[in-house]
Amino acid sequence: MGPPPVAFFFFLFLIFIFSPFCFNVTSSSPTHSSSFSQFSGDQEDASVIVENFTYSPYSQNRKTHQHQQAFAAPISLPQFTFNSTDPTDPSTHSTMCNKAGSNPNRVVLPTNVTPSHYTLTITPDLNEFTFTGYVEIDLTIHEATKTVKLNTKDLTIKTTSIEVDGKSYEPVSTDHDEHHDTTTFTFDTDLSKGAAILRIRYDGILSDKMAGFYRSSYKDAEGNTKYMGVTQFEATDARRAFPCWDEPAAKATYTISLVVPTELVALSNMPVSSVTQVEPEQKTVNFEKTPIMSTYLVAWAVGEFEYIETTTTKLEKPVTCRVYTLPGLKEQGRFALEITPKVLEYFSEIFGTAYPLPKLDHLAVPDFDAGAMENWGLVTYRTVALLFDEKTSDLRFKEQVAVTVAHEIAHQWFGNLVTMEWWDHLWLNEGFATWVGTLAVDHLFPEWDTWSTFVVDDMQRGIGLDSLRSSHPIEVPVNDPHEIHQIFDAISYSKGASVIRMLSNWLTVDVFLAGIRRYLKKHEYENATTDDLWNALSEESKIDVREFMNTWTRVIGIPILNVTETDGLVTVEQHRFLSTNDVKAEEDETIWWVPLGVHPKPASIVDPNQTLKSRSLSFEIPEGAYLFNKHYSGVFRTNYPPSTIKRIGKAILEGSDLVGLSDRAGLVADIASLSKSGHTATSNFLDLVQYYKNEEAYVVWELLANRVGEIASIFADDERINQGIKHFQRNLVDRMVSKLGWEFPEGEDYLTSRLRNVILRSAGRAGHEATVAEAKRRFALFVSDPAHDSILHPSIRQTAFEIVLSQGGEEEFRHVLKYFHAAPKQDQQVIALLALGFVQQPELIAEVQALAISESVRPQDIFYVLAGLSANPASRRPTWEWVKANWTTLANRYKSSMSMLGACVKYPLSQSSDASLIKEVKEFFADKDTKDFQRALDQALEGLDINSAWVAREQQGLSEWLSANNY
């Protein structure tokens, strides 16, 4: 999916940009895929999706050449045409069955009966919130049997029969297993081996739980509440809409028909083949047969949709591209529409395989759990992940739309054309879509410097989560389908993408993409595993990729490279990195293959590729400053001695070409993380920051603001340290505040516009006097007269709201609340929800908490509210108390989306340093069923432990440093 829940996750990401303090360690990631990033989004963890909504790309220049490496030159490839393998004929494919294989503990369906084609008719009732269904499933019975077992959930079976050898049989019993979501039909005679047709009539509920076939509400122009129907099937919710073999390897083709009111539009994966009027007010819309595909990619939607359209121009078979929206919104889809054919053409070229469907639709959905979902030919999105208004939207949403759309389109090949064999290999979908989606955005918008954004966004999110003991390997065994949603997180999306970037840069991107073309061609319309990817890359590169990459995907954690200098030698030694800094011997047995990226390269290193394949390596100290992990391509932390940091810092201060943009950002990320974990003192990080006084790059400033702000946030209960760090922060940003101001000159470059918000936000949170005063002045004008709307540019509106709410009272609160209720667009509502959490008065904090579960806030948007509250020290503890008091309500509300429920746990605890909460949280959940969000709970507890240990360890040293430096 897009960036989690996108999904998703994607996805990227809200809190990272929205709060310089939040979700450093405990965040999951991305768009969707699906992306969110993310959004980066699809079924990613909801917290990742939220992050992706606000996270954006940055940086001022392109001093490094890693981006050119990412794709050096266009590859000229022949247009793809289908070979003798018919994508609509399952008999021509070696489709896998979901056998337990290397994981005998998988809970899967029997393989004695498998589907090849579904003929499906759905009749929704958007007034009664129900639907009826009829499905005919063409089956192959591989061995005689009296039983047929498939997946169903929340469906009422009305009639069932099976046709074998021209005879029809009805089951003598129908048994439902609610725990495993299965229905077993038992017949009184053996069903003989061969072809069969299973026919089922059933009823279902159009719930509002954003899973299966569900309803989404909206207001029309007159203020009336109306509904649309839409599907969301990943990971295991197709079974909520039709009886099926709901496993990724049980691929089949589909012929879908929707019986809908005449005035409504019906959409599905394929183009409409015919429309039949069945009653004066009802029609049947029939769709073309799909290619062979997995159940989680099937999709349909019904509603009052309008669309804008374009067509590809560079493909042998033109593809019709459309953006569908509710009435009055279609022009906001113009940007997404403009980039869609360009991305399709780019991927068709670099993958050597043309997009195989005749159309690609994007659909904006008001109520949507993930960031986006890559349904083949009908991609669905949260509204804010697809729609963008050039005049009224915050700029960060534009890049998020681009990243999410590219992520979801990447899935049309990686996930849809070639699908993971089982959920253990989810990263093949999400990690690759995140990496190649970034590649596409960088190709279309090189001025955005998206790869530098990747370094501080996806890489840090993935490394941060994998630095926890409660993390998991990229390839994580999934035994029960109920566990699947817990791995839609920063490991599958962001660490997966980071590992791909590291490998592709080492092999060279040209070689890597040649391997991808080999992989796609060999496994098109089938399922694949991680080993299949390694085999393709090994064949292309003539290197045994599996030998050194299995450690990265099958083992938990990342390495830290400890650098020491002795007697003219540099020694680098690798160990597992934990943010708790308490690695046990049994946890430190892994030897990773590490591309060192030493720059300038020492003559004494013989290996031209500079890889570390053992515990340690020594070489002669290069003259002057030197760096490991040039371009920050490797997925590891580097722990330099203070003397080395000082030399690098001087090179940064002097503007040396030695330290490029990604290097400067990566150094901040590493040293900040190492100071938080206790590998180095936090004062060493603050010493490093002072070398950045001439910095002007957006991407670097985003990290500087986040990491310095995080210290003030975590140490909020220590008045001396909190105020001293804010003083330091005010000094840090003062020059840039004066330089950038509050106005957005016409024609200003994108990154400068993004940088302005970073600087003003950081200054406002630190109490920079001139910034606070100007925010109050502009806010007063903004709320006094609609004619003053432009006084607060959309890209700094949230920052201004946040400042005045943190400094003001009820009057300011009522103005922002009014703005939320009156906002005509969801991105404007998001801005208000994020800012409202910054109120300081207990009674207003309570009102914001109540708003989170009111009818005014869509269930999917609770996380914006919690994000603001968690970034505000005054509301953290009250919000945790509120979660406890409302747990039953939250658990019932999100029982169909446990990743969202897990985020309700993580947000209020993410920035707390109160050690007593650890015991309290454990006691609260002791008598509750946490299996569906256990990872999120474990991560929240570990984050509490890390934060409280940081404060206890550093209070004295930080206080002394601040005093010694006059802060």
- Percentage of the chain with pLDDT > 70? 88
Q: Are the C-beta atoms of 221 and 249 separated by less than 8 Å?
A: no
The answer, yes or no, to whether residue 74 has pLDDT greater than 60, is no
Per-residue pLDDT, averaged over 433-455, amounts to: 96
Residue with tokens 């699809």: 42
Q: What is the pLDDT, as a whole number, of residue 103?
A: 66
The answer, yes or no, to whether residue 811 has pLDDT greater than 80, is yes
Structure tokens belonging to residue 728:
């330091």
- Annotated binding residues for Zn(2+): 407, 411, 430
Residue 608: pLDDT band (50, 70, 90) is: low
Q: Is the dihedral of CA 169, 173, 178, 182 positive or negative?
A: negative
pLDDT in tens, 86-102: 665 655 554 444 444 45
The answer, yes or no, to whether residue 830 has pLDDT greater than 90, is yes
- The SS3 assignment for 293 reads strand
> Distance (Å, rounded) from C-alpha 506 to C-alpha 489?
25
Pairing of strands 272-279, 359-365: unpaired
> Distance (Å, rounded) from C-alpha 860 to C-alpha 844?
22
Q: Are the C-beta atoms of 948 and 914 separated by less than 8 Å?
A: yes
Question: Could you check whether the bond before residue 34 is cis, i.e. omega within 30 degrees of 0?
Answer: yes
pLDDT in tens, 134-188: 999 999 999 999 999 999 999 999 999 999 999 999 999 999 999 999 999 999 9
> Distance (Å, rounded) from C-alpha 959 to C-alpha 319?
63
Question: Could you check whether the bond before residue 20 is cis, i.e. omega within 30 degrees of 0?
Answer: no
Residue 558, classified by CB atoms within 10 Å of its CB into exposed (0-12), middle (13-18) or buried (19+), is: buried
The active-site residue out of 288, 374, 408, 483 is 408
Contacts for 723 with CB less than 8 Å, ≥ 6 apart: none
Residue 842: pLDDT band (50, 70, 90) is: very high
- The SS3 assignment for 250 reads coil
Q: What is the pLDDT, as a whole number, of residue 24?
A: 34
Buried b (16+ CB within 10 A) or exposed e, 505-535: bbbebbbbbbbbbbbbeebbbbbbbbebbbb
Q: What is the pLDDT, as a whole number, of residue 541?
A: 96
Q: Looking at the domain 559-634+636-714, which fold is it?
A: Immunoglobulin-like (2.60.40)
Per-residue pLDDT, averaged over 99-113, amounts to: 76
pLDDT in tens, 687-701: 999 999 999 999 999
Equal CATH topology for 91-301 and 733-964? no
DSSP tag of 79: P
Which overall architecture, per CATH, does domain 91-301 show? Answer: Sandwich (2.60)
Query: Among 88-92, 482-486, 760-764, 929-933, where is mean pLDDT lowest?
Result: 88-92
Q: What is the pLDDT, as a whole number, of residue 601?
A: 73
Query: Among 99-113, 282-296, 485-499, where is mean pLDDT lowest?
Result: 99-113
Rg of the chain taking only CA atoms, in angstroms: 27
> Distance (Å, rounded) from C-alpha 700 to C-alpha 456?
8
Q: Are the C-beta atoms of 18 and 46 separated by less than 8 Å?
A: no
Per-residue pLDDT, averaged over 661-685, amounts to: 97
Q: Are the C-beta atoms of 42 and 896 separated by less than 8 Å?
A: no
> Distance (Å, rounded) from C-alpha 348 to C-alpha 393?
31
Query: Among 359-373, 392-406, 766-780, 885-899, where is mean pLDDT lowest?
Result: 885-899
> Distance (Å, rounded) from C-alpha 289 to C-alpha 120?
11
What residues form DSSP beta bridges with 372?
Answer: 381
The answer, yes or no, to whether residue 16 has pLDDT greater than 70, is no
931 versus 953: which is more confidently predicted? 953
> Distance (Å, rounded) from C-alpha 892 to C-alpha 898?
10
Q: Is the dihedral of CA 670, 675, 678, 679 positive or negative?
A: positive
The answer, yes or no, to whether residue 352 has pLDDT greater than 70, is yes
- Annotated binding residues: 407, 411, 430
Give residue 745's identity as a one-letter amino acid code: P
> Distance (Å, rounded) from C-alpha 507 to C-alpha 337?
34
Which overall architecture, per CATH, does domain 733-964 show? Answer: Alpha Horseshoe (1.25)
The answer, yes or no, to whether residue 253 has pLDDT greater than 60, is yes
Per-residue pLDDT, averaged over 486-513, amounts to: 93
Establish how many alpha carbons lie within 13 A of residue 185's alpha carbon, considering only the half-sphere containing its beta carbon.
Answer: 23
DSSP tag of 353: S
789 versus 828: which is more confidently predicted? 828
Q: Is the dihedral of CA 651, 652, 657, 661 positive or negative?
A: positive
Q: What is the pLDDT, as a whole number, of residue 48?
A: 32
Query: Among 139-148, 450-459, 607-616, 901-910, where is mean pLDDT lowest?
Result: 607-616
> Distance (Å, rounded) from C-alpha 947 to C-alpha 677?
9
pLDDT in tens, 534-556: 999 999 999 999 999 999 999 99
Q: Which strand (E) or helix (H) includes residue 286?
A: strand 282-287
DSSP tag of 24: S
- In the chain, domain spans: 91-301, 559-634+636-714, 733-964
Q: Is 408 a catalytic residue?
A: yes
Q: Are the C-beta atoms of 693 and 484 separated by less than 8 Å?
A: no
Find, among 433, 484, 477, 10, the residue nearest to 236 by Cα.
484
